[in-house]
């Protein structure tokens, strides 16, 4: 038998009040799109009120010309719902030039890095989908495209769990890549520039240290691990 779902009517009532407040505030800030705001809040209502009854994510499509405020609307809604800690943005792209760099090469990695890949309610904004091509005009798959698991998420409603080894391999590859990039940069500098810059130690960043601490259950402080 499936476990019974406990319904807290008082909590649901409070959440409904929150949604009504958010809806009213958004209508004050975004003029002329009341019906869109109504539909957006209606779509997310069951997810917000009773997420435990859902087995798949709620998917909401926002279409419109660039600059009309789609992204801003979602960000403002998230802020007013006080959901910033459970929110991530993914700019869909085929190249590695995005702001997330190597660590943003998959949806799974971004959700993991944001501590959202834990089965608890969260909001993910996928932006610039019109530029996200995974096949060529003649129907051939694009080689080495990023975010291929985006389609897995839409199709299956969940992402396959990656093993610890995969994450460690990713971190090591990035560490080696950063080292090579540093050597390339130094090879192009003059002796004066090198002397002014001084000796640069190979270290890991705070994010990598946090991931190592989590993956291995280490007791050291993050700052100690980074050093």
Per residue, the 3-state secondary structure of 64-107, as one string, reads: CCCCCCHHHHHHHHHHHCCCHHHEEEEECCCCCCCCCHHHHCCH
Alpha-carbon dihedral of residues 19, 20, 24, 30, nearest 10 degrees?
40
Query: Is 205's pLDDT higher than 70?
Result: yes
Burial class of residue 33 (count of CB atoms within 10 Å of its CB; 0-12, 13-18, 19+)? middle
More confident residue, 15 or 137: 15
- Residue 162: pLDDT band (50, 70, 90) is low
Q: What does the pLDDT read at residue 106?
A: 78
Q: What does the pLDDT read at residue 101?
A: 44
Global confidence as pTM:
0.66
- pLDDT tens, position by position, 169-193: 777 777 788 888 888 887 887 877 7
- Residue 197: pLDDT band (50, 70, 90) is low
- pLDDT tens, position by position, 60-102: 999 887 778 899 999 999 999 999 999 999 888 765 544 444 4
Measuring CA to CA, which residue among 158, 9, 152, 208 is closest to residue 227? 208
Mean pLDDT, to the nearest integer, of 7-20?
92
- Residue 201: pLDDT band (50, 70, 90) is low
To the nearest whole number, what is the mean pLDDT of the chain? 81
Q: What does the pLDDT read at residue 72?
A: 95
Q: What does the pLDDT read at residue 26?
A: 97
Q: What does the pLDDT read at residue 102?
A: 44
Residue 46, token pair as written in the block: 């069951």
- For the chain, give the percent of residues with pLDDT over 90: 30
> Lowest mean pLDDT: which of 44-48, 121-125, 187-191?
187-191
Please give the Cα distance from 10 to 211 (Å, whole number). Answer: 38
Residue 101, token pair as written in the block: 């760099």
Phi-psi category of 57—alpha, beta or left, where left has phi over 0 and alpha has psi -120 to 50?
beta
> Lowest mean pLDDT: which of 31-35, 120-124, 140-144, 153-157?
140-144
Q: What does the pLDDT read at residue 78?
A: 96
Query: Is 2's pLDDT higher than 90?
Result: no
- For the chain, give the percent of residues with pLDDT over 70: 83
């Amino acid at each position: 038998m499936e476990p019974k779902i406990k319904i807290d009517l008082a909590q649901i009532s409070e959440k409904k009040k929150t949604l009504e407040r958010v809806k009213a505030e958004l209508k004050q800030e975004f003029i002329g799109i009341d019906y869109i705001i109504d539909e957006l809040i209606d779509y997310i209502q069951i997810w917000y009120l009773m997420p435990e009854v859902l087995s798949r994510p709620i998917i909401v499509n926002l279409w419109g010309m660039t600059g009309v405020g789609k992204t801003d609307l979602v960000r403002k809604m998230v802020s007013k719902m006080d959901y910033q800690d459970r929110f991530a943005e993914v700019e869909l792209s085929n190249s590695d030039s995005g702001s997330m760099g190597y660590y943003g090469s998959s949806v799974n990695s971004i959700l993991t890095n944001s501590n959202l890949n834990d089965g608890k309610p969260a909001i993910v904004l996928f932006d610039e989908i019109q530029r996200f091509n995974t096949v060529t005009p003649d129907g051939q798959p694009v080689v080495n495209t990023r975010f291929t698991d985006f389609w897995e998420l839409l199709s299956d409603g969940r992402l396959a769990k990656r093993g610890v080894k995969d994450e460690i391999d990713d971190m090591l590859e990035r560490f080696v890549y950063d080292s090579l990039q540093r050597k390339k940069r130094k090879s192009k500098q003059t002796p004066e520039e090198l002397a002014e810059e001084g000796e640069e130690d190979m270290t890991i960043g705070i994010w990598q240290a946090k991931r190592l601490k989590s993956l291995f259950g280490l007791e050291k402080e993050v700052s100690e691990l980074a050093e």
